[in-house]
């Protein structure tokens, strides 16, 4: 058990997972990850590279990964924006790597350094084109360590970039952490080619899991890797059916993450009021559940560790008996949209959206829920209401009572 910072736990988890290459560019509030990697990697026979910018950081990471090394970079919002093209590249070319985004307030240079959960949508939709992201969201320092290891497992197994998304509070707070995961290699690792080298070798022929079995560079196989749409040989193609099949395969393989990462549920068995929150917000939400229970409200928490792809069926099942769902997040309504999509009107939605650099306190959550329960229309769970000044403004369905969701500026 060691008392360390979230960012340091991320570096520790990376080393434990076998990461031996890190390239990064200084940016708050993620810089401690780079600093820790700079100290630790040489001891483990790895390489740390301070790059000239975030584009170079992720480019170098992808190059190192193709050479056969587990590799990672870490950044915050502005740098995450710059990395988007390379995240798309790694996805299409099927190169495993881990990208850490320690969120701060945005857009633009935004709020260095105060917390935010504003990059949730960007983590899925930031790159151009159709792309299925795998994004993990740890709640505290121990989980940063554990999920960093899992991120490498997912990335290697699925051969794709995996994003670890947490915020400034999780990155900077210190907690006691058990730096020994029972089995850090719970995943199968990077798929290796089952075909022999030679002219008929097809690097992008997928295995049963829909994952390409690329060899590392310089191991007796000669093959082409490109960010262009490609066929099984890795050669550029504009054949519409080949391209469509490729996009479908890549999207499908990412869905495996849904089965491999479990959400945290708390007092959900009889809950009719469900708080949905992730990251540091999931932590205050858990305390809010206790506070609401002490007032006789059957509250529960559903906290996703996997933000993307959304575990639709799991979430829908968890919320089927809920009369009211409160999504609390430090933005103006991002994952709340996904919950809205999944519940399709089965419960009243009352998001608590806090953007501006403040965390959401337990007291705010409890107050928000109590206000919501006192509002008219709550007794009829079949009447769906959505409100607020964010993306939910004036979108209540016909006949429903419009409820103002609380937006703390």
Partner 1 sequence: MSTVMDTDTAVHGAAGGSVAITGKEKRLLRHAMMPHMLCPGCGHGIVLDAMLSVLSERYEDLDNVAFVAGIGCSSRIIGYIDACTLHTAHGRPLSFATGLKLARPDLTVVVITGDGDGLSIGGNHLIHAARRNVDLTCVLLNNEIYGMTGGQAAPTTVLGAYTSTTPLGNTQHPFDAAELAKAAGATFVARSQSYRPQVFGELFSQALDHVGFSFLEVMSDCTEYFGRTNRFGEGADMLMGQARYEPSIDADLARIPTVEPVTIKQPVRPVLPIGVLHRSSRLTLEETLGIEGGRSSGVADGKLDDAVQRMDG
Cβ at position 221, least distance to partner 1 in Å:
7
Cβ at position 152, least distance to partner 1 in Å:
15
* Rounded Cα gap, residues 309 and 136, in angstroms: 10
Length of the chain, in residues:
409
**Residue closer to partner 1 (CB basis): 128 or 394:** 128
* Rounded Cα gap, residues 65 and 72, in angstroms: 9
* Rounded Cα gap, residues 126 and 241, in angstroms: 25
DSSP calls for 351-377: -EEE-SSPPPPHHHHHHHHHHHHHSTT
Distance of CA 81 to the CA centre of its chain: 15
Work out whether 15 is an interface residue with partner 1 (CB under 8 A). Answer: no
Question: By rule CB under 8 A, what string of x and - marks binding of each residue 181-210 to partner 1?
Answer: ------------------x-----------
Among 174, 192, 222, 295, binds partner 1 (CB under 8 A): 222
Cβ at position 220, least distance to partner 1 in Å:
6
Placement of tokens 């584009």 in the chain: 55
Among 5, 7, 30, 69, binds partner 1 (CB under 8 A): 69
Cβ at position 226, least distance to partner 1 in Å:
4
Q: Are 99 and 71 in contact (CB under 8 A)?
A: no
CA distances from 363 to 199, 285, 289, 306 (A): 65, 10, 11, 26
Q: Are 7 and 14 in contact (CB under 8 A)?
A: no
Among 17, 41, 170, 268, binds partner 1 (CB under 8 A): 41
Cβ at position 347, least distance to partner 1 in Å:
43
Collapsing DSSP states into helix, strand and coil, what is residue 329?
strand
Work out whether 243 is an interface residue with partner 1 (CB under 8 A). Answer: no
Q: What b-and-e string marks burial along 139-172, b requiring 16 or more CB atoms within 10 Å of the CB? A: bbbbbbbbbbbbbbbbbbbbbbbbbbbbbbbbbb
* Rounded Cα gap, residues 59 and 84, in angstroms: 11
Q: Give the residue from 57, 69, 41, 129 showing the smallest Cα distance to 100.
A: 57
Among 1, 26, 67, 395, binds partner 1 (CB under 8 A): 67
* Rounded Cα gap, residues 8 and 145, in angstroms: 9
Among 18, 112, 221, 408, binds partner 1 (CB under 8 A): 221
**Residue closer to partner 1 (CB basis): 235 or 382:** 235
Cβ at position 328, least distance to partner 1 in Å:
37
| Gyration radius (Cα) of the chain, Å | 22
Total residues contacting partner 1 by CB under 8 A comes to 49
Cβ at position 21, least distance to partner 1 in Å:
6
Q: Give the residue from 291, 298, 227 showing the smallest Cα distance to 268.
A: 298
**Stretch of residues binding partner 1 (CB under 8 A), selected from 18-26, 241-249, 326-334, 384-392:** 18-26
**What is the CB neighbour count within 10 angstroms for residue 308?**
26
Q: Give the residue from 351, 403, 124 showing the smallest Cα distance to 254.
A: 124
Collapsing DSSP states into helix, strand and coil, what is residue 380?
coil
**Stretch of residues binding partner 1 (CB under 8 A), selected from 68-76, 257-265, 346-354, 395-403:** 68-76
Work out whether 377 is an interface residue with partner 1 (CB under 8 A). Answer: no
Work out whether 128 is an interface residue with partner 1 (CB under 8 A). Answer: no
Work out whether 400 is an interface residue with partner 1 (CB under 8 A). Answer: no
Cβ at position 37, least distance to partner 1 in Å:
13
Cβ at position 222, least distance to partner 1 in Å:
5
**Residue closer to partner 1 (CB basis): 125 or 235:** 235
Half-sphere exposure of 323 (CA within 13 A, CB side): 15
Among 18, 110, 184, 227, binds partner 1 (CB under 8 A): 227
**Residue closer to partner 1 (CB basis): 217 or 266:** 217
Among 16, 17, 51, 306, binds partner 1 (CB under 8 A): 51
Work out whether 72 is an interface residue with partner 1 (CB under 8 A). Answer: no
Collapsing DSSP states into helix, strand and coil, what is residue 71?
strand
Cβ at position 350, least distance to partner 1 in Å:
43
Work out whether 235 is an interface residue with partner 1 (CB under 8 A). Answer: yes
Point out which residues bind partner 1 (CB under 8 A).
20-21, 23, 39, 41-43, 45-47, 49, 51-53, 55-69, 71, 85-86, 89, 199, 216-218, 220-228, 233, 235-236
């Amino acid at each position: 058990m060691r008392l360390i910072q979230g960012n340091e736990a991320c570096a520790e988890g990376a080393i434990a997972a076998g990461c031996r290459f890190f390239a990064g560019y200084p940016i708050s509030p993620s810089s401690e990850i780079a600093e820790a990697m700079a100290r630790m990697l040489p001891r483990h026979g790895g390489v740390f590279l301070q790059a000239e910018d975030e584009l170079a950081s992720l480019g170098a990471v992808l190059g190192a990964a193709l050479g056969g090394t587990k590799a990672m970079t870490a950044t915050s919002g502005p740098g995450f924006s710059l990395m988007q093209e390379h995240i798309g590249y790694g996805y299409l070319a099927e190169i495993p790597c881990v990208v850490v985004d320690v969120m701060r307030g945005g857009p633009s240079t935004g709020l260095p350094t105060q917390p935010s959960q504003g990059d949730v949508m960007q983590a899925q939709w930031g790159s151009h084109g159709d792309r299925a992201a795998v994004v993990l969201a740890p709640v505290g320092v121990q989980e940063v360590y554990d999920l960093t290891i899992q991120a490498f497992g997912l990335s290697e197994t699925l051969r794709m970039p995996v994003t670890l998304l947490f915020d400034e509070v999780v990155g900077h707070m210190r907690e006691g952490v058990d730096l020994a995961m029972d089995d850090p290699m719970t995943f199968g690792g990077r798929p290796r080619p089952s075909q022999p080298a030679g002219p008929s070798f097809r690097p992008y022929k997928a295995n049963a899991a829909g994952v390409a079995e690329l060899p590392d560079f310089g191991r007796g196989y000669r093959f082409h890797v490109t960010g262009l749409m490609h066929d099984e040989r890795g050669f550029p193609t504009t054949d519409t059916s080949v391209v469509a099949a490729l996009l479908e395969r890549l999207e499908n393989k990412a869905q495996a993450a849904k089965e491999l990462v479990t959400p945290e549920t708390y007092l959900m068995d009889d809950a009719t009021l469900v708080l949905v929150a992730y990251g540091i917000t999931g932590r205050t939400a858990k305390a809010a559940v206790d506070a609401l229970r002490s007032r006789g409200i059957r509250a529960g928490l559903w906290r996703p560790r996997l933000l993307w792809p959304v575990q639709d069926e799991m979430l829908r099942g968890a919320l089927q008996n809920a009369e009211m769902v409160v999504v609390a997040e430090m933005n103006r309504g991002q994952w709340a949209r996904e919950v809205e999509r999944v519940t399709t009107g089965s419960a009243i939605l009352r998001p608590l959206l806090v953007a501006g650099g403040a965390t959401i306190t337990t007291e705010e959550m409890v107050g928000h829920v109590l206000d919501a329960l006192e509002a008219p229309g709550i007794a009829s769970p079949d009447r769906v209401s959505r409100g607020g000044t964010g993306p939910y403004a004036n979108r209540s369905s016909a006949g429903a009572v419009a409820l103002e969701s609380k937006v703390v500026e």
